[in-house]
Amino acid sequence: MVADYARSMKKVTNKNSKKNDVKSSKRPSYEQRKPAPKKKPVKKSPPKRIRKPQESAPKSGWLRPLISWGTTVALWGILIVGSILGYFAYSLPDVSGIDVIEKRPSIILETSTGARFATYGDLYGKMLKPNAIPEVMKEALLATEDSYFYSHFGINPFSLMRAMWRNYQAGRVVEGGSTITQQLAKNLFLTPERSIQRKIREVLLAFWLETKYSKDEILALYLNRMYFGSGTYGIDAAARKYFSKPAEKLSTVEAAMLAGVLKAPSRYAPTVNLKRSQQRSTVVLRRMQDVGYLTKSEADKFVRNPARLRHAGSGFKNVRYFSDWVVSEVQSFLGRTEEDLVVVTTLDLKMQKVAEQALEKQLSKNAKKYKVGQAALLALSPTGAVKAMVGGRSYSKSPFNRATDARRQPGSVFKTIVYAAGFEEGRSPDHIYLDGPININGWKPHNYTRRYSGAMTLRDAYAKSINTVAIKLSEDIGRQKVAAMAGKLGLSGNMPTHPSISLGTNEVTLLEMTSAYAVIANGGRSVLPYGVLEIRNSRGNVLFKRKGSGLGRLISGKTVNNMRDIMTTTMTKGTGRAANPGFAAAGKTGTTQDYRDAWFIGFTPNLVTGVWFGNDNGAPTKKVTGSNLPSYAWKDFMTAAEDEQKTLAFKPAQEEQDASQQSIWQRIVRTFSGDNSKKASNDNAFSVPEYPDNDTEKP
């Protein structure tokens, strides 16, 4: 029994020992767990070195908040940008009137043969459909303004960034990044102001245009609505304005010129500066070469032969003087109107060209030598139709019209009025007057030569422009008669009847004085100068048509023949010899005190022309007289203008007068000047200067 207990206890002990052995193998004793001094390197065991999960924990700690905050900021940014875009979208201008054109009424001026030479107001041509616009025009535009037009969605981010960088480098705006769509949006709906607000609206409108229209339609809208300078809007109007052809027939160089104008129409318009416009077109052609629309050889050829103006008004430096005058006539006929008008005028383009050349020839050769800065020329038919008008040396420098608006002393060309009055009072070219000293209450005028020739006929006195005889004739018939004749022949303004009236001391315009000579040229009938023949609206309805003008006969046929007699003698033997063209012509020179004004006015059976030289500030010239520069210019003009219409003799005017018209004029003269054939009393209420006639100086 004891033995059995002992065996059982041994088994238990053995069993417990095995358990303890197992436990001891899994959990070492304190002694075993106590690090031994020799095993200190064990501290760098792999489990302590490999702690990658613990090392990545701090990184995930800042990334998650960053992502969270970034998402929040992005959402707020989208909300804010959306709100801003929504505000600007809500405040966009009304785009419903994209097809409505608001413009000033236009006026187109033409010759009687239909040649267009000037336009006023806003001129629009036909609204061309996309397939009607020539490819060369599209290529020139795309190469210059937006070569990626067909690939972007309304804006070109790359172009914007490039423009911003180049502007930053230059320190100023040297390049724009707007696409054609943006430019169209700006020009149709927005103002040209430079601001962020306008740019945002421009972008939104560009998106709208891109969704509303096709690319070809946007391009057509652009070319039909953009401003091309000189009052022209749209490619068709520009082609007709500058090249006298429809847009469909534009050549490559013409398309390049028009595309170049778009950068700055007021600067690059060919009518403003043709050379500058041609230089700009060279840039366009080179861009077309770079893009691939032209080969180098083609571009080189076009650069050497740039486009030139082809319209009727091209090559005329000063036709605008006539145009401005005609527009004022149109307004007087129709008043204010909103209709587009076509005006048929009296202008003869050949004569206009010759007139400009005749004046410029004398000014370019003699301006410095004679110290003269300005000149004017006016040519009209004997019935008053203005054929040519040059109101100054350069319209672009001074649009003031010296032919119609400048009032200057006429000098001896006024003697024609004095002699006409004398002949109406019964004097004749063969009447004898004494060329000698004069003293009218202390006023002692003299001739230019300060010499006297004694007794002479009125014919010779007029031809030699003798002052004393003109004064004596005026005193003989009465100064009031002279003043009345001046008014009858169309001279306006105050006409004081002092003794110097016969020497041309009262100011007149070249238009008035030339029109007075036209009365003698046409046989004695009144002349109202005009430039308008017909006015039509855009639908072709005639609003005005000239049927006739004038008040009938003003002076007798006998007076007309006497005047032609003495004026022809002036051209052959007198002060007007330098103006003699070699065929039938009559005229008179005129020069004022200190050589301030020099005139020549004369006529042939077909044409009446007046020429003036002087300075705008009234400064004396260096001996410019009616016998030199004005006579030279008059002869050059008349010789070229008459050409095939030269006539060898004047047809005598009829002697009888129109009784009804004569009675009317007699009543008018009696009413305003009195029927007094006696010598007028001397009027010396003021000091009268001496006005010697300088016309006797040889050219």
Active site amino acids: 145, 412
**Three-state secondary structure of 268-311:** HCCCCCHHHHHHHHHHHHHHHHHHCCCCHHHHHHHHHCCCCCCC
The number of beta carbons lying within 10 Å of the beta carbon of residue 492 is: 12
One-letter amino acid of 433 = Y
Q: How far apart are CA 235 and CA 242, in angstroms?
A: 11
d(CA 219, CA 240): 20
Looking up tokens 């036909």, which residue turns up?
Answer: 126
Pick left, alpha or beta for residue 505 (phi over 0 → left; psi -120 to 50 → alpha; otherwise beta). Answer: alpha
Q: What is the distance between the alpha carbons of residues 115 and 310, in angstroms, rounded to a whole number?
A: 11
The conformational region for residue 495 under phi > 0 = left, psi -120 to 50 = alpha, else beta, is beta
- Distance separating alpha carbons of residues 570 and 558, to the nearest angstrom: 19
Number of H helices, E strands in the chain: 24, 14
Q: Are strands 107-110 and 341-345 parallel, antiparallel or unpaired?
A: parallel
DSSP lists the bridge partners of residue 107 as 120, 341
DSSP annotation of 502 reads: G
CA distance 174 to 607: 55
Rounded to whole angstroms, the Cα distance separating 485 from 495 reads: 11
* Alpha carbon distances (Å) from 434 to 447, 454, 466, 562, 651: 13, 5, 10, 20, 32
- Alpha-carbon gap, residue 566 to 469, rounded angstroms: 14
Distances (CA, A) of 340 to 54, 113, 285, 324: 87, 20, 35, 17
Give the separation between CA 483 and CA 474, rounded to whole angstroms. Answer: 10
Q: How far apart are CA 95 and CA 212, in angstroms?
A: 11
Compute CA 602 distance to the chain's CA centroid, rounded to the nearest angstrom: 33
Q: Are 571 and 664 in contact (CB under 8 A)?
A: no
Query: DSSP 3-state assignment of 322?
Result: helix
Nearest to 467 by CA among 698, 697, 696: 696
Q: What angle do CA 569, 570, 572 make, to 5 degrees?
A: 65
Are 419 and 350 a contacting pair, CB within 8 Å? Answer: no
Nearest to 307 by CA among 245, 224, 397: 245
Q: Which one-letter amino acid corresponds to residue 276?
A: R
Alpha carbon distance, N-terminus to C-terminus of the chain? 179
For residues 140 and 254, give the distance between their C-alpha atoms in angstroms, rounded to a whole number.
10
E strand or H helix that includes residue 434: strand 432-435
3-state secondary structure of 233: strand
Task: Give the H or E element holding residue 189.
Answer: helix 180-189
Q: What is the DSSP letter of 178?
A: -
